[in-house]
Amino acid sequence: MTAMPKARRLDVSAYIACFYGVVWREVLRFLHQRERFLAALVRPLVWLFVFAAGFRQVLGVSIIPPYETYVLYEVFVTPGLVGMVLLFNAMQTSLSMVHDRETGTMRTLLVSPFPRSFLLVSKLLGGVAVALLQVYAFLLIAYFWEIEPPLIGYVTVLPALVLSGLMLGALALFMSSVIRQLENFAGVMNFVIFPMFFASSALYPLWRIKESSPLLYEICRLNPFTHAVELIRFALYAKVAPAPLVIVAGFTAFFLAAAIYAYNPSKGLIGRRGAPRNGGA
C-alpha cells in the first residue's frame, strides 16, 4: 500500500512550513482585530493603574526573591498580570477551537495530512504567539509606569512565557473539550479564570496568604497558575525558579496529552458529545 501514486513525503521542512503557516495565520488574524488587542491591553492596565495603585497602601511587600529591595506593589503584581494576559488569551484560543471544531475553520486545519497532535500543538503555540504580542505591549507601557526589570529580563522571560502560555492553552483546551458548560465565556470567567487568578500568587505573595488561611495557601500551591506566575516573576529578573520550572513543564506535558486526547474529535471525549450541530446530519 505504500507505493500508491502521487504520495508525497512530508519531511522536516514540510513540518516547519506547516508550523510556521499555522502560527503566522494566528498572528495575522490577531493584528486585524484591533478591538481584541485593545481589550487585551486595557484589562491588565486597569489592574495596574487602578487596583494596584489603591492596593499599594494596604499591602506592603517585604523583600522576597527575586526582588533585592523593597518593591512597590505595582512591581510585585506585574508578573501576575502578565499571567492574567496569558490566561485570558489561552481561554479565548481554546474556546474558539472547541467552538469551531464542527465548522470550516477547525475542519480545514484537521483535514491537513499532518498528525493531529502536531496540528493542535501548532495551533496552541499560535495562540501563545498572539499572547506574547499582548504581554510585550503591556510590559512596554508598564515600563513607563516605573516597572523596570533589567533589560535582559525581557529576553529571559520569553521561554517562561511560552511554556506557561502553552500550559494554560492546553489546560483550557482540555477543560473546554470535556465540560460543555465551559463553552461560553461567562462560564469560563466564573469557574476558571477568576478562581485560578485569585487563588494564586498573582496578587499577593504566598506567605501572606499562609498567614491568613493555611487552607487557601495549600490551594494556591496546587494551582498550576501560581507556578506559572512564579516562573515568570523570576525569569523577568533573569533568574530561574527551579521548582516552578519543573512543575510547569510537567503540567504542560500532562495537559497537552489530555487536551489532544479529549479534543481529537475522532478519538476523544468530544466526539461522544453528539452529532454535528451545523445543518444536515
Partner 1 sequence: MALSEGQETSIAHPSALEVRRVSHRFGAKTVLDEVSLDVPQGAFVVLLGPNGAGKSTLFALITRLYDNVSGEIRILGHDVRRHPMAALQQLGVVFQSRSLDGDLSVMQNLTYHAALHGFGRREGRRLSEAVLAMVGLVDRARDKVRTLSGGQARRVEIARALLHDPSLLLLDEATVGLDIASRESVISIVRGLARERQVGVLWATHLVDEVDPNDQLVVLHRGRVRYSGPALDLVAGVKADSLRTAFMHVTELDQPDA
Which positions lie near partner 1, rule CB under 8 A?
1-2, 4-8, 10, 13-15, 17-18, 20-22, 24-25, 28-29, 32-33, 102-105, 107-115, 265-267, 271, 274-276, 278-281
Per the CB < 8 A criterion, the answer to whether 65 and 40 are in contact is no
DSSP 184: S
* Closest separation in Å from C-beta 117 to partner 1: 12
Nearer residue to partner 1 within complex by CB, 7 or 253 = 7
* Closest separation in Å from C-beta 268 to partner 1: 11
Give the residue from 274, 260, 13, 275 showing the smallest Cα distance to 115. Answer: 260
Q: Is 108 exposed, middle or buried (0-12, 13-18, 19+ CB in 10 A)?
A: exposed
Nearer residue to partner 1 within complex by CB, 14 or 140 = 14
Task: Cell numbers for 129, please give them.
Answer: 504567539
Integer Cα distance of 61 and 80 in angstroms: 14
Integer Cα distance of 232 and 85 in angstroms: 12
Range list of H helices, 199-276 = 206-212, 214-222, 224-235, 242-263
Give the residue from 130, 135, 144, 122 showing the smallest Cα distance to 49. Answer: 144
* Closest separation in Å from C-beta 99 to partner 1: 12
Nearer residue to partner 1 within complex by CB, 3 or 151 = 3
Question: Helix, strand, or coil here: 98?
Answer: helix
Nearer residue to partner 1 within complex by CB, 2 or 57 = 2
* Closest separation in Å from C-beta 115 to partner 1: 7
Give the residue from 126, 147, 123, 129 showing the smallest Cα distance to 44. Answer: 147
Nearer residue to partner 1 within complex by CB, 239 or 267 = 267
Nearer residue to partner 1 within complex by CB, 14 or 222 = 14
* Closest separation in Å from C-beta 35 to partner 1: 12
* Closest separation in Å from C-beta 119 to partner 1: 8
Q: Is 143 exposed, middle or buried (0-12, 13-18, 19+ CB in 10 A)?
A: middle
